[in-house]
Structure formats: C-alpha cells, structure tokens
Structure 1
Amino acid sequence: MNRKNIFTITLCFCFIMQMFSQEKQVINTTEKYKQFGLVWGLLKYHHSEVSKGIYNWDEIFVENIDKLESIQTQTNLDTFLLNFVLSVKESKIKTDTTTDNEFTKNVDYNWIEQYSVNKELYTRLKKLENNTSIGNYYTSKSGIPTFENEKGFKAFDYKIKSHRLLELFSFWNVIQYHYVNKYLMDKNWFSELENFIDDFANGNSQLKYELAKTNLIVSLNDSHSYFFSKTVLDSLFTFKPPMTIVDVNDTLVVTRIFNKLVEKDDLKLGDLIFEINDMDIKSFLKQKIGTKISSSNEAHLKYWTRFLMWNKEDSIKVKIKRKDLVTTKYIHLYKTLSKDEDYSSLPFFSYKKEWQIIDDNIGYINLKTISKDDLKKAFEEFSNTNGIIIDLRNYPKSISGSDIANYTYPERKEFIKVLFSSRNRPSLAKFDKPAISAIVDPFKAGGKNSKYYSKKIILLVNNTTQSKAEYIGMAIQASPTCITVGETTSGAPMNVTLFKLPDATEIQFTAMGGFYPDGTGVQRKGLKIDHFVKETTSNFTEDQYIIKGIELIKSTTNKEN
C-alpha cells in the first residue's frame, strides 16, 4: 500500500472518529443557549431579509429557545441550528472580505469555525459573516448607530427564562456588532458570555434578574452606560450617612455634617476616613461601587464616592483619623435625612462669576453656564492679560469648542478624529466624517485669525469633565498655547446612543470612538494631562487647580520679562 493510500485512510478514519465523538458528546444547557444566541444574533444583523425587520425576531427567539431542552448532542444542535437558518427566506449575499482602511479590532467571528464539520451550516454562516447586502431596520446606516425600532418585547416577564435570555442576547449582540469601543473592555465580551448566560438563566427573582442586568452593563467599562436599578439600590443602599464626603487621594474627608445626627458618633468636619469595613478606600470603592456602576476609568469611579458609605444595614464600620488620633467605630446611618436639618460645611474657595480678572492680570472663565455673548466679552476684556484660565470641571450648557477656538486658533485646524461604525459592515468601523462634512468639517475648528489670543491658556479638568465637556476640551487643547492641568477625565468623549431592552429599560453607551489627530485614544483614557494636580487632605479646600494655573502663567510671564 503506497503512502497516498495510507494518508487517505488515516484522514477518513480521523474524520469518522470526530463525527462519532461529536455524536456521543452530551452538550450542556449553557452551551446550547450560547450557540443559539450567537446564530440568532448573526442573522439579525447580517441576513439580508431578517435585517429588514420583516420577521418578529424577538418572538422567534422566544419560540425557539425552549426547544433546545430536548437536544442532547452537538450533532443534534447543528441540525437544529441549520433548520433554524433555513426557516427564514434565503439571504441575498453580497460578499466583501476587504478590510482596507477599516478598524478591525472588534471583529470576532471565530466561533463559526466550530461548525466546520457540518458543511452546509458552516458555509451559510461564513457567507453571512462577510455579507454586505443587509437592511437597516435594527440600526442606521449613518455610521452613528441608532435603534429606533427596538421598542421592547410585548408582555415581557422576567420570571420567564426565555424572556430573560432574550434580554441578554438582544443587548449582547448589539454590543458585539455595533459598539466601536468594545475592544477597550477590561474583559473580553465573547469570553464573558457564558457567565452572563448563567446569571440570566438563574435570575428568577427580581433582585437576581436586576443584578444580572447590572453586571452586564457594568462590563462595558463606559462612563456613559450608567444604569440604576431601584431593586438593586434598595437592597444595597438603603441607609445613608449623616454627612458628605469627598475622596482625596483615596482618603475620605468629611466635608459636611448634619449637626445633631453626628453627635452620637462624635463626627467632625475634616475627619479623615481611611478604612471602611476593614478595607482601604480604593479597594472598597472598586468592590462596592465598581461592581454596580459602569466606569471608563478609576477617576470616573471616584465621582460616585458619595454612595460609598450608603449601606443595606443601619450602621457601617470605619477607621477615622483626627489629628494624630485614630479610632475605629460604627457610624449610624439613616433611611432619610431631613432637608431642614441643621448642618455645617467646610469652607471651599471658588470663583462665583462666569468670567473675571483674577490675581494680577490673569483671566478666568468658567464654562459651565457662560453664553457666547459673554465669552466674546471675556476675550475682548482679556486681550491684554498675562494668561487665561479656562475652567472645564463641569458640563458646559451654552457653548461649543468651536466657539472658543474662534479666539484661540491662528488658523483652522483638525482637533479630533472620530471612529464610526461602518455603514454596512457590522463589527467593522472606520475613521470617517458625517455627511455634512461635504459642507463643513465638524472635526475642525477656528479660522484665519491674526489677533488670536497668543498668551498662555490653562485648561482645568477633572473627573467631572465628561462627554461633551471632553469633546470641548479636545478643541481647546488644540490651541497652540494651551496647557492642561488637573486629573484624569471621565474617558467618554463622544455622543451616546440609546438601546431599548426587551423589558423596556433604556441603556445608553458611547456611540463613537474619540481620538486626537495623532491617533491617541480618549475613550477610557481621558484627556491628555500636562500637569497633574496633587491635592492632599490638608490643602484641598483651597483650589489647587487654580493655584497651579496661576503659577504656570506667572512662570511664563517672568521668563518673558
């Protein structure tokens, strides 16, 4: 017998053994749900007919998911999945495998390879993977994903397992195919799917169900994706402390107290809390808040410090330092705190006006509420100042980055690159511009201006600088004399999109990716910082951001003189 015949026999034997092994392999319930949910999602966004919305795709999910109970082996499941694919009108296929100029870090179709033994199923799924002949019923083709036709599932009931699994796979698949920042998550979205399935499959009480949903959304690591379940909040954050705290370098400072309520616990303004329930503040924040709130980074997580001492019991254990004395005690907590309660607060220095001259000929602008007209007046007034401090530790209500660039750019320039979903290629993305860019490029600002403000500009940012504020910050940073001072920002610079879950809960997530013109990403990282502010528990009542800004402007002025 020649070598060729031996090789052929060996190959056939291996194939037969593989088929035999698969036929005998018992498949677990989680794996059955997983594979069906993957195929269902692929058809939803890649099939030419399903993606037009001509099928009630949620109803079809619910009708089929319970049929998996009788399936015992992978071979049987392959047959079921093939029949499921064949149950809808055959898809029109327009294949495009090119990825030139496309952002491919979110592409993840390797799971289709498991069906290579079933040639017909495998071939059909592979064709759908690269199909560009798709409708836009479930999302738009504008590059900015919108989901207006996701209206919830009629008569949704979390007590029904098929409904809970529909909730999971509806959201999981929209993130899988239309979330351009998916590649930035801490944990791989696909690898987490089995854990999500177990959570939703077993979430037969309202609290378990709402916790499963919370865990799902927290996994996005997106500061825009906050979700507050009343059931979860009521179960974990029932009682409140009789004080307000602020996180300064992972130490909590008591900044406000309800005078009568704190007497029994001997609490005073300025007390330092550095342990809660025998854990350091940073670790406790991650464990208690980080598992319930989606955050792009640790800086944004600190924004939710105010919930840190809320508890499901009416007291909480803390370790407190007052001067050199350290004590461990339980602080009483309360379900309600009266608005009329007498209270005391630490004095914080802040500038009250939207714009003014400060500290020996330095301009100050607070962007929170300033109008375009006042912005114009401010820059006219500041034309001969030694420098300007622009405060962006807020969310501007009335101005845009372009409004400021008109005074701070010598010429028109690009300040941001934006990553959009590809219009007919789920999972892919592209650095693109909206249709209006044919008229005016929205990612450029400023214009020819020989009288632009050329002295030092100090931009102040912190963890409250988010979304539109970060976008405006990027525009200001492109000013040739700008220096950014502060701490890491929220790390969610672009617009949000809304997705309505089957249970009618609306979840938002960042719709695009924001990058500096040099390609540096801002999502999760936050804005570039030139000088980080070093606040301490002894100096935080004085505005260290402003102090640093004045110092930088004066140092430049002294050099020039």
Structure 2
Amino acid sequence: MNRKFILAITFCFCCIVQMMSQEKSVISSTEKYKQFGLVWGLMKYHHSEISKGTYNWDETFVENIDKLEGVHTQTNLDAFLLNFVLSVKESKIKTETNTDNLFTKNFDYNWIEQYSGNKELYTKLKKLENNTSIGNYYTSKSGIPTFENEKGFKAFDHKLKSHRLLELFSFWNVIQYYDVNKYLMDKNWFGQLDYFIDSFVNSNSQLEYELAKTSLIVSLNDSHSSYLSKTVADSLFKFRPPIGIKNINDTLVVRSIFNKNLGEKDDLRLGDLIVEINDLDIKSLQKQNIQSKFSSSNDTYSKGLSGWLLRNIEDSVKVKIKRNDSVVTKYIHLYKTFENKDYSYLPFFRIEKEWQIMDDNIGYINLKTISKEDIKKAFEEFSNTNGIIIDLRNYPKNIRGSDITQHTYPDRKEFIKVLSPLGNRPSLASFGKPSISIIIDPDKSGSKNSKYYNKKIILLVDHTTQSKAEYIGMAIQASPTCITVGETTAGSVMNIAIFKLPDGTEFRFTVLGGFYPDGTGVQRKGLKIDHFVQETTSNFTKDQYILKGIELIKSTKK
C-alpha cells in the first residue's frame, strides 16, 4: 500500500515537472516576431542574393509572419527559422572578420549566439554576419546609402498586423545596420525592440499606429528625423493660439500676436510670460508633449519647437501668466484657423543687410542668403576693420564653407573628420572621404593665403544652426582667430538619408558622422561653443549674441 502511494506521488510529481517544463518552453508572440524580424533583416542586408534584389523581401516577410502563429516553442522556432533561411538560394559567402581601423561601436550581432545549440542554423547566421559578398540593391553604389529601391509596400493596410510589423522591422533594421550614429541614442536600439513590437502589435486604430511610428522615430534622437503625421497633428494638435512665443529659460514669452481682436478677447499682451500650461511647468510639459513627439538631438533644439506646447486637442487651454508683478491663471481660446490681422510683435534689434560695417568699425555678415560674390566684396571692405561678426543663426542657401575660409585661413587645413557606413559591411563604418559629388576633398578647406583676415572673427550660432549650417560652421571655426558665441546647435551636422517605409512614409536620418579633427563628435552635442549667450525674459529683445560679439572684439582689439 505504501509502495503504491509512493508510486502515485512520484507519477504526479513527474507530470507536474513535465507540465512546468512544457510551459517554460512556450515562447511568447513578441519573442517569435522579434527573432523572425532579426533573421529577416540580417538576410536582407547580408545575403548575396537577397541584397541584390533577387527576391521581393517585403512580400516574403508578410507571407511568413502569420505562419508563426503555429509556432509555440523555441525548438519549433529554430526549425522554422532554419527552413526560412534554406528557402532562398544559398548565399555566396566571402568572409571578413578583421575590424582593425574600423568604427565598431554599432556592431551588434550577439543575438545570434542564442542559436548556438542548433549547429546548422547558427553556422549559417554566423557566416552571414561576416559576409562581404553583398549587393547594393537596398543601399547604393556610392559611399552614402540612398535606399532608392525602397518603394513602399503595395496595398499597405495598417489594420493588418503583418503589415504593421513589416513597417517596424523595415525601419528597425535599416537603423540597425546603416545608422552610424546609433550608438549615441539615449536608449539602446536593440534593447527597445520588445517595446516597439508590442506597440505595433497592439495598435488597434490609425492614431495608435501613427503614435507607435512616432515613438519609433523619436527614439533616434536625431534633429534631422523630426516627423509628425497628419493623423497625429489633427488629433492631438488640432487647435492653436493666435500668438507666437519663444522659450527662454523654460518660460514662454509672448513675442507676437497674429490677430489683434483674438488677442484682446483673452487679454493677451506682448511680453506676457507663460509659466504653466494645464498646471504643468514648461520644462515638464516640454518633455511630455514635445520630446515624446519630435525627434531631437538635444534639449536646445527641442526648445525651438516650443510653439507646439500651446496647441491642444480642445479649443482652449489653461495657462498661468505673469505680467509685471501680477500672476493670473485663466483659459485662452485656441482655433483651427484664424486670419492674420493687425499683426504685432515685440521690437527686436535686427540687422537687415546681408553685410555691412557697424559701429566701432566692426564688419557683419549674415550667411542666410548672401552670395559668394558678396562675401568676396565684404572681405575686401572689411580688410581694415577691428573684427568681423559672422551670423550663422540660419541655414545658408547660396554658399559653401570654402567661400568664407578662402579669406580666413592662412593655409589649407583639415576641419572635419567624417564617419561613413561601409556598403559591404553593414553596421561597420570608417573615417575617410565619402563620395559626396558636390564636394571635392570634403574634410579640408581654405588655401595658402598670406593676406588672410587675421583679426577676431566671431561666429554666432544657435539651435537653428543645423546640418549644412553646422558643417559650414565647423569650417569657419578652424579659422585661427575664430571665437564661437551662442547656444548649443541642432547636433545633426552631416548628410541625410531618406528611407521610404512600407506605408509610404519617408523619414530622414543623419547617415554620416561629423567629428572635429581632435575626435570630438558633433552629432547630438552640436558645435563647440566658446561663450554661451545668457538670454533672459527681459533682455532678449536686444540681440545678446551680437552684443557679446562686439564686446569680445573690442576687448581683444589690436
């Protein structure tokens, strides 16, 4: 009797252990999608046949993703993935594992190690990891990826989970393998993948889907990548105020009123200070509403988008306003549209001319629209000035950095180091000269010039100094007498790549890395600043940047 009891107990225990073992081996949907998306992306960019466009790889994704519903264990998934790899023509393999003198901070294939127990699958994935026999259908023949053959997915439907996941993994994998600035993100790109998958899987409406996509783009921490879909804009930012504001030290200053009658309706006045919106301070709201919806390399660039803080899903918003010595909390009206009528703005010191000689015999050049010819004329006129202020708080339309540096360098010199992705070695990059057709020898500027301008040059920059402007700024900064004044720039210095997602959305990201010759990075950090400008809510109408520039020139006048 005791023996039967012991056998019964043993049998029950074994059953429980077996059930626990089976339950433990069950794999989640998120994990299945993740592993398939990783293998699909590895093959897209590393497989010799797929990477030259032989297969409709988007269609292949959609056809296979739904088949995962019948896969419940890791063992089954390993078999599924192996069959998937074997379903296409075997890749031509040319192995290269040497990474000496290459940039490896984005190199991340550790996930392949989870398949070490399945020798055949593991071996094939490892060979693809180090394969250099790669086509350029999904990238380009030049040194800068262009993704010209990404045309979108025919009949894309966000209501289909398979299509949403295709959207996610198309985005995720191109960043994984070709964003040389990936290592600079706030959060680890691989570490966020589970969260992204859940967001896209659970997007049950168009707004939820667009918000999931917005979150994906925001995660790049790249000022080039700001994107706001019409669905999100219409849903969350439908109504706007009849005023313009500027964020100064986390206070919103009313600097313009677009419609006099609408401004008077809510007693809004120029110079009013908005310190809270919907009971939140501006800094907190900036993080909640702006940094979660717009990709930005740094907080300074993000503050330049503060005009969106007063937009709302409803036609009014609660604000706390300081005016002189009084503080008032009230609701102000917001509008879908309004007529710009009787426009008024705070008086602000502006220099209207593209170039001129100011008081104290100081030259001034605004680079926004000036031509190469006028720059030459300006420097001829400025030869005997006490110093020059170069205003780069803009995006130059007509010039290159060399149009300035030919006047400010005594010799030709290197001013930038460029990090470029390697076409045949995804996720790796190197410092060198990318194939930029409009620029010859793009890391150097200037020429031998014994008559270069050797007085103080003050370069003015702010959060609007971005991309080409930052590139030009780096060239000017290498002038031997240059001093940079302003605030942190946009932190997205180099060329962009445009990638069309399956749903037709085009998003941009900074595809090259920009560094000073000493190795200091510019992506996210912005240009080096010698003197930061301290604007306040009471002094910003007088151009503190120019005033600081004048002060520095006068203090160092020879």
Tell me the TM-score normalised to structure 2 length: 0.95
What's 2:292 paired with? 291
- Aligned residue number for residue 61 of structure 1: 61
Other-structure match for 2:172:
172
Return closer, same or farther for 1:435/1:494 CA change in 2, 3 Å cut-off: closer
* 2:282 counterpart residue number: 281
Residue of structure 1 equivalent to 2:496: 496
Instruction: Kindly provide the amino acid, as one letter, of the partner of residue 505 in structure 1.
Output: T
Amino acid at match of 1:120: E
- The CA distance in 1 between the partners of 2:312 and 2:119, in whole Å, is 56
Amino acid aligned to 1:283: S
1:121 alignment partner, SS class: helix
Check whether the contact 1:22–1:74 (CA below 8 A) recurs between aligned residues: no
What's 2:27 paired with? Answer: 27
Q: Equivalent residue of 2:83, what SS?
A: helix
**What's the counterpart of residue 554 of structure 1?**
554
CA RMSD of aligned residues (A): 1.6
Contact 2:467 2:494 in 1 (8 A): yes
Structure 1 SS opposite 2:254: strand
C-alpha deviation, 1:22, in angstroms = 7.9
Q: 1:23 touches 1:74 (CA, 8 Å); kept in 2?
A: no
Deviation per CA, 1:14-43: give whole Å up to 9, x if none. Answer: xxx99x958960011111000000000000
Query: How far 1:484 sits from its partner (Å)?
Result: 0.2
Q: Which moved more, 1:140-149 or 1:284-293?
A: 140-149
Q: Kindly indicate whether the alpha-carbon contact (under 8 Å) linking 1:161 and 1:204 is maintained by their aligned counterparts in 2.
A: no
Using the alignment, how far apart are the partners of 1:136 and 1:51 within structure 2? 6
1:140-191: CA deviation from partner (whole Å, max 9, x where unpaired): 2433111011111111111111011101101100000000000000111111
Cα distance change of structure 1 residues 153 and 530 upon mapping to structure 2, 3 Å threshold: same
**Residues 144 and 435 of structure 2 are in contact (CA less than 8 Å); yes or no, is this contact kept in structure 1?**
no
Q: What's the counterpart of residue 375 of structure 1?
A: 375
C-alpha distance in 1, partners of 2:338/2:383? 49
1:234-249 counterparts in 2 under 5 A?
A: 234-249=234-249
State the alpha-carbon separation in 1 of the partners of residues 436 and 310 from structure 2.
48
**Aligned residue runs from structure 1 range 66-465, under 5 A:** 66-257=66-257, 258-339=259-340, 341-434=341-434, 440-465=440-465
CA 1:436–1:167: 2 relative to 1, 3 Å: closer
In 2, Cα distance between equivalents of 1:130 and 1:306: 47
Structure 2 counterpart SS, 1:245: strand
Would the aligned equivalents of 2:391 and 2:460 in 1 still touch at CA under 8 Å?
Answer: yes
Q: How far apart, CA to CA, are the structure 2 residues paired with 1:268 and 1:423?
A: 56
Cα distance, 1:48 vs. partner? 1.0
Identity %: 78
Q: Deviations over 1:351-397 (max 9, x none)?
A: 00000010220000000000011000000000000000000000000
- SS of the equivalent of 2:490 reads coil
Question: 2:9 corresponds to which residue?
Answer: none
- Quick check: 157-166 or 456-465, which moved more? 157-166
Deviations 1:423-477 (A, max 9, x none): 310000000113589x952211111100000000000000000000000000000
Do the aligned partners of 1:22 and 1:75 also contact (CA within 8 Å) in 2?
no
Counterpart amino acid of 1:178? Y
Which residue does 1:482 correspond to in 2? 482
Matched-pair contact (CA < 8 Å) for 1:141–1:424? no
Letter of the 1:553 partner, please give it: I
Instruction: State the partner residue of 2:8.
Output: none
Deviation at 1:343, TM superposition (A): 2.9
Amino acid at match of 2:152: G
Which sits farther off after the overlay, 426-435 or 218-227?
426-435
String of CA shifts for 1:32-58, please: whole Å, max 9, x gaps: 000000000000011111111101100
Residue correspondences, number: 539
Tell me, in whole angstroms, the C-alpha distance in 2 between the residues paired with 1:521 and 1:434.
Answer: 17
Amino acid at match of 1:447: S
> Does the 8 A contact of 2:418 with 2:434 survive in 1?
no
Say whether the 8 Å CA contact 1:402–1:445 is kept in structure 2: yes
TM-score of the superposed pair, with normalisation by structure 1: 0.94
Deviation at 1:204, TM superposition (A): 2.7
CA contact (8 A) 2:136 2:423 kept: no
Per the alignment, residue 542 of structure 1 pairs with: 542
How far did residue 93 of structure 1 move?
1.1
Q: Which runs of 5+ in 2 are unaligned?
A: 1-16
CA contact (8 A) 1:465 1:489 kept: yes
Alignment of 1:498-537 (within 5 A): 498-537=498-537
The 1:262–1:435 alpha-carbon spacing in structure 2 relative to 1, beyond 3 Å, is closer
